[in-house]
Amino acid sequence: MRQAPAVPVLPPLVRKQYPFESRFLMLRNGHRLHYLDEGSGPPLLMLHGNPTWSFYYRDLVLGLRAHFRCVVPDHLGCGLSNKPADGDYLILAHAGHLRELLTALDLREVTLVTHDWGGPIGFLAATQSRDRFWRLITFNTGVSLEPLPRLLMLLRLPLIGPLVILGMNGMVRAGLLAVAVNGHRLEPAVRAGYLAPYDSWAHRVAILRFVQEIPIEVTHPNRALLQELGRGLGEMAALPHLVIWGLKDPVFHRGYLDALHRRFPRAEVHRLADAGHWVVEEAGESILPLIRDFLARTAGERLTPSHRAGAS
C-alpha cells in the first residue's frame, strides 16, 4: 500500500504555536490517526474542516484545557495523521474513524465541537452513537443542500481541481489569504502552521477528496447521505446547543445557518457580523467567553434516557 511519510515534522516556529503532545490511534485499516488529548474534565471533541487541521483549535484548547478534556483529532489525510494516497476519504469513512476514536478513548457525555466538514462527519458519528453525546457547539458548517459558490464548482472539474489543490496548494493558500484578524492578515507563524502538513502534492490528497465529496451533482451519493443525516438530527434537537456563525462566510452563507436553525430550533445562536468562514481563527477572543459561559450554564444538565437511546 502506497503511503506518504507518517508524520510531517513541524518547524519550531509552528511548534511554539502548537505546544501539545501528539497522540496516535492505529485504525482498523492500518493507518495512524493523530489527535490531541489535553486537560481533564468533561470531554470536548473538536472536529476541524477542510483544509485545516487540529491547529485550527489551538487557542480553544489552551483556553479550555484547565477545566475540560480537549480531544482534537486530525481526519485521515489531514494534519499529522497518515496521508495514504489510496485512502478511503469518504465522509462515511471519516465518521467511522471518529467512532473508533470514541470507542478507544471511551468518551462519554461528549460536547461535540464542529466546523466546516467537521459538522457532517461529527453529526454522522453522533447519530450513530447518540448515547455518547451531551452538548453541541457548532461553527460555520453545512448539513443541508444549499447553493454553493462557483469557485467550489470549478474545483470539481477534473483538470482544474487537481492542478489548483494538489499542485498549487490553492485551497490552503487562498483560504489563508481570506482570513483577517482585527483587520490584519495572519501572522507568519500562524500561516506556517496551516501550511506545514500540506507541503507536497502527496500530502494534499485528502483536501482534494473533501472537495470531491461536496454533493453538487444530483446523483452524488452524499445527497442521500445528507438527507438521511437530516432525519437523524431531529433526535438530537433537544441537546444543549451553541451555534457561533461568521456572517461574512462566502461558502456557508446565511442559508446554511437558517437551515441549521430549523434543524435545531432550541439552539442558542450568535451571529458574528465581522467574522467569516474561519470564525475560530478570526474571532477567537470573542468566541472563548461565549463557549465558557455556555458550558457553565449547561453543566447541570445531563442526558435523559431518551437522549441516550441509540447504538454506541
277 assigned to active site:
yes
Of residues 268, 210, 229, 213, the one with CA closest to residue 144: 229
Q: At residue 250, what are phi and psi to the nearest 5 degrees?
A: -80, -15
Residue 20, C-alpha cell as written in the block: 501539545
Give the amino acid at 268.
E
Single out the residue of 55, 99, 83, 60 nearest to residue 288, CA to CA.
Answer: 60
**Element spanning 15, H or E:** helix 12-17
Nearest Cα residue to 310 out of 113, 99, 72: 99
Annotated catalytic residue within 48, 116, 203, 253: 116
Q: Look up 249 and say whether it is catalytic.
A: yes
How far is residue 227's CA from residue 222's CA, in Å, rounded to a whole number?
Answer: 8
**Annotated active-site residue in 31, 48, 94, 277:** 277
CA-CA distances (angstroms) from residue 129 to 23, 102, 134, 222, 235? 23, 9, 11, 20, 12
Quickly tell me which residue has 477545566 as its cell. Answer: 67
Active site residues: 116, 249, 277
